[in-house]
Amino acid sequence: MAEPIRIFIVDDEAPARARLRSLLEDCAETLPNRVVGEAASGAAALMALASVATDVVLLDIRMPGMDGMEVARRLASQPGAPQVIFVTAYDAHAVTAFELNARDYLLKPVRVDRLVGALRR
């Protein structure tokens, strides 16, 4: 059996983090995964990610303080950085996201089939 994908969720809104956790639970049988942590801000995410083995970061873009684009820039400069999948309500940042080597760009509300497809990539 394959090791579960280790996922870290970053969103400043608690309901959005809860929704992603719920979607991940719904698809766990199809695509084994484990939420290894979550953060409500970019700065908190970077601190936590420094000490948590993570394969994929589900990352919101618009957050107070450090936004998701800056988090992705900082992660990209680290060796062995996790893959980033942006999860946002705004489609205006897609080009920049892919310039930062984002694995995917999901618009809220996220559908489970779209999330599974992004995680499989």
Coil, helix or strand at residue 79 = coil
Helices (H), the chain: 14-26, 42-49, 68-76, 94-99, 112-120
CA distance 27 to 7: 13
Query: Could you tell me the two tokens for 21?
Result: 């956790």
Burial of 8 (0-12, 13-18, 19+ CB in 10 A): buried
pLDDT 10s digits, 20-64 = 999 999 999 999 999 999 999 999 999 999 999 999 999 999 999
Predicted TM-score (pTM) above 0.85:
yes
In DSSP terms, 7 is beta-bridged to 35, 56
Q: 25 φ, ψ to 5°?
A: -65, -40
pLDDT 10s digits, 61-103 = 999 999 999 999 999 988 889 999 999 987 787 778 878 888 9
